[in-house]
Structure formats: C-alpha cells, structure tokens
Structure 1
Amino acid sequence: MSGKTTPTDAMLLLDNQLCFALYSTSLAMTKLYKPLLDELGLTYPQYLAMLVLWEKDGLTVSELGERLFLDSGTLTPLLKRLEASGFLTRLRDVQDERRVHISLTAAGRKLKSRAARIPGCILSATQCSIPELVALTQQVQALRQRLVA
C-alpha cells in the first residue's frame, strides 16, 4: 500500500467524522454536568426531563417524550426514579388510561432554584461567549431537524 492518502481514505479518518465530533463532545459535556448534577441527586437524562417540566408543568409522558426525543419505554423508568425521589408525581388520565400526566411536587419546583447555577458553570467551562453558544446551539438544532426530517 502506498503512503498517499486518497479522498476516500480522508473521508474515513476518525477526526474528519462529524458524528464522532458530536459524540465525543456529548461525552465531554455529560462528564462536565455529572458533578453538578450529583449535588442535585439527578442524572443527566433526569435533569433534561426536569428542565422541560420547569418550563411547562403538567405534561403527559408522550408530550415529554416528544420534547426530549425519547420513547415512553426510556422515559418511564426515568420518571419512576424521579417520582421515588419525590420530585414529581405521575397520574393516569381517568378518561384515557394510556395517558399519564406528570406534575412537579413542591420539592421538584424547589430543585429549580438549586439548578439555577448550572448554566453559568457550563458557560464558564466552554470558554465561549453567549452569542457563540447561541449560534452553535442553533446550528446543532438545525442539523438535528434535517436529520429527523
């Protein structure tokens, strides 16, 4: 084999893969969040669910799943753990037992004030300006939309 790198070889280099850049960045971001979330008694997926509920309480499991791009099979155990921790309640709809409504408890609402410092910690760790982070977030969201379309 020759020492020349062909265009096909370059396309198959790990460092040229968008998927790996996103994956490894996601791992680094989750690692950054871990000690901050440990203080709250939350895992990263639980934190994401709480963010959505702090934004709009009283959603159904399916509405929460749509917002987080997760199916109910993934969400149900996560929500059961949050309920066991006293942060939310789950209640079946009396008119349609397939629908489960999620409501924050007082402890779940109170947790929001403790979580308020997390975005500043993340901003500091990224060493990005707010406009840079907003632009990057919008680019990644646009990419996600194109991929799921």
Structure 2
Amino acid sequence: MANTATRSFLQVAVTEEATPPLRVVQIEGLVILKIIKHCKELSPALVTGQLLGLDVGSVLEVTNCFPFPIREEDEEVEAEGANYQLEMMRCLREVNVDNNTVGWYQSTLFGSFQTGGLIETFMNYQENIRRCVCIIYDPSRANQGVLAFFKGADAF
C-alpha cells in the first residue's frame, strides 16, 4: 500500500516538472484595443481589468478581457467587485468565450508601475494561477506618440 502512495507522489512530481516554461504571451489585437480604450477613457484615473485566455504548452494566449469597475477601498464595494467578476465570467462561459483567467491589466501614468502593490498582486494571482501575465498600459506615453505596453509574466 505504501508503494502505491509513493508512486502517486512521484507521478505528481514528474507531471509538475514536465510543464514547459512559458516562452510566449500571445495577445489578440482586440484585447489590446479594449485595454487602450478602457485606460484612455478613464485617464488619469488608474484602472484594472481581467485577462482571459488559454495556457497551451509554452504559450499563454490572451484572447479576451473585461474591465473592473472603479472601486473605493470599502468592504461592501469590494464584495460587489468580486460578484461583478464572477457574473462576467459566468456570462462569458454561457456564450462559449474563453473564460479562463490568465492575468490582469492595469494602467499607469508616466511609467510608475513597479510598486510593492503590483508585486503583491502578482504573488496573489500566482497562488491561484500557476502561470499568469500582467499587461500595463501607459496612456500618458501614448499621448507622446509611444505605444507604451509593458508585460510581466511568471515572476517579477
């Protein structure tokens, strides 16, 4: 009996090691346009949203996204935000759209996005999603003629 338990453990360990490393983050053009629109419409406010897609081998495909409502730091509002996210995921699943969370996006101003809060959020996502990505868009840089997207994947 102990031999079976050991064999199961070894199979799980081998399976986890066999996962290929993330090499490519492939983003649909519509996702980029949705992120730009959301960030520009509410600029200079900082906004965030959910990235959806598929994790296929060494490629993380980002096929859709949706914005999070702007919220204030309040438990009741925070609960509403969580309900909003779950409802959006349910609706997308019903219409057969990829509804697997693969990360999030957020806006920044003047490139100031490398903060403790970003790293903490990344760590929280990775507790639930082994491989995820964060896309950051800077609308202030876009006004200067630069399409300013930044990507963080796996670990910072």
Taking structure 1 as the reference length, the TM-score comes to 0.24
Taking structure 2 as the reference length, the TM-score comes to 0.24
**Greater RCO structure (CA 8 Å; 6+ sep):** 2
The structure that has the greater radius of gyration is 1
Q: Which has the larger helix fraction?
A: 1
